[in-house]
Structures are given as C-alpha cells and as structure tokens.
Amino acid sequence: MLLSTGPEHPNLETALGLSDAALDRGAELYLYLIDDGVRALDDPRIRALPARGAKLFVCAYGCQKRASRCATPIRSRTAAWSC
C-alpha cells in the first residue's frame, strides 16, 4: 500500500483501517510512505505497524524535504528508509 498524503487527509484513517484488516487476516503488508505521507510517521499507530509484522518503507528524500521524524529510527527488522 502507498500513502502519499499528509496525516490531515482522510487517507490516513483509510490506510490504517486497511492495514489493520490485512494484518488481522495474516496477510503480508508492505506500506510505503512517500511525499507528504512521510509525515504519518508522527502517528504512533503507523510506528506500531512493524511490530505487528508490516514492512514499512519511508522515502528518505520526502523526510529530508519535510524535516520529518525519519531521523528517529523505528526499532524493527521490517522498517526501512529508502527512496
């Protein structure tokens, strides 16, 4: 799943709902945060997804341009910063 809109947009709630549903069903979830979506890292629900098995990828360039929390690593084998 790809999230490119900021946390103020309703897409965040949709992405979280779909993520929860997928993980509850045992599906593999790959979540990509790009553009304004990198700001969703400020939401603790997004930061908790890797602990549930989600693979979280964050665009480093998007973080750099938006001064996001990408500098604070998520302690997980399933989280990565990329672009």
What whole-number distance in Å separates Cα of residue 37 and Cα of residue 5? 5
How much is the mean pLDDT over the chain?
A: 85
The residue ranges of every structural domain in the chain are 2-82
Mean pLDDT (whole number) for 49-67: 86
Q: Distance between CA 44 and CA 53 in Å, rounded?
A: 15
6-31 tens-digit pLDDT: 999 999 999 999 999 999 999 999 99
Architecture per CATH, 2-82: 3-Layer(aba) Sandwich (3.40)
Cα separation, 74 vs 70, in Å, equals: 9
Instruction: Residue count of the chain, please give it.
Output: 83
With tokens 């700001």, the residue in question is: 39
pLDDT at 40: 92
- What SS3 class is residue 32? strand
